[in-house]
Chain A
Amino acid sequence: ETGVTQSPTHLIKTRGQQVTLRCSSQSGHNTVSWYQQALGQGPQFIFQYYREEENGRGNFPPRFSGLQFPNYSSELNVNALELDDSALYLCASSPSAGFNYGYTFGSGTRLTVV
């Protein structure tokens, strides 16, 4: 059983640019969440997709957008990058949006905005 894989592992972008991060969920998982983890902080929830529909969103501006595909893989897009967007972006998948399930996390994409 493969876990959650994210790409790329590291990325450097310039302020104002756009970025797309990718995530392949664990086999059999239909729910994907994205988190932003600043250095020394806990993960902050960005949004969640369940069967290709967004079913929850955290306190992030609209320039953070996402997509989930029929195979349940997912993308996170960030437009008009700001310096404060520099963080580790984590993707997590779950067998369902049910609350008793733990999440399986990928190793993350380290985004640096300069």
Chain B
Amino acid sequence: GDSVTQMEGPVTLSEEAFLTINCTYTATGYPSLFWYVQYPGEGLQLLLKATKADDKGSNKGFEATYRKETTSFHLEKGSVQVSDSAVYFCALTDGGGSYIPTFGRGTSLIVHP
């Protein structure tokens, strides 16, 4: 079945540091890939998405590139802020099977001033 694997957290960074959160996936079809963010006490918000190989999704300084050859969709940001502290979820919807999003376990990001 479909699955998403994220790096273990928490990831702890100082403000203005470079961020990478790794995400790899397995899927039976040709998936669309997503990153969601969950701030404390809130639901998930769609951060960015990519629907085909080599697409780059970007939003609010975050970006991720759909790499079919490595089945990866790593999240990056050049300079993190304290306000970026949250839990980040990688997810996929498999166009070859069901269209139900499958989520990773989430990676907590803590940014210190």
Contact = CB atoms under 8 A, between A and B. Distances in A.
B97 to A, nearest CB: 9
B14 to A, nearest CB: 24
A33 B43 contact: no
Given A33-B101, A42-B103, A99 B93 contact: yes
Given A42-B103, A43-B89, A43-B103, A99 B32 contact: yes
Contact of B100 (A6, A40, A45, A107): A45
Name which of B43, B103, B106 has the most chain A CB atoms within 10 A of its CB. Answer: B43
A33 to B, nearest CB: 7
Interface string A37-73: 0001111110010000000101000000000000000
B20 interface: no
A99 B49 CA distance: 11
Size category of the A interface is 20 to 34
Size category of the B interface is 20 to 34
Interface string A1-16: 0001010000000000
B99 A99 contact: yes
Contacts of B93: 99-100
B40 to A, nearest CB: 11
A53 to B, nearest CB: 14
B46 interface: yes
Nearest to B31: A99
A19 interface: no
A97 B99 contact: yes
Given A42-B89, A42-B105, A98 B44 contact: no
Given A41-B106, A92-B44, A100-B95, 4 more contacts: A42-B4, A44-B103, A56-B99, A107-B41
Shortest 4 CB-CB contacts between residues of A and residues of B: A105-B43, A102-B46, A42-B103, A99-B99
11 contacts: A4-B43, A40-B106, A41-B106, A42-B4, A42-B103, A43-B89, A45-B102, A99-B93, A103-B44, A103-B101, A108-B43
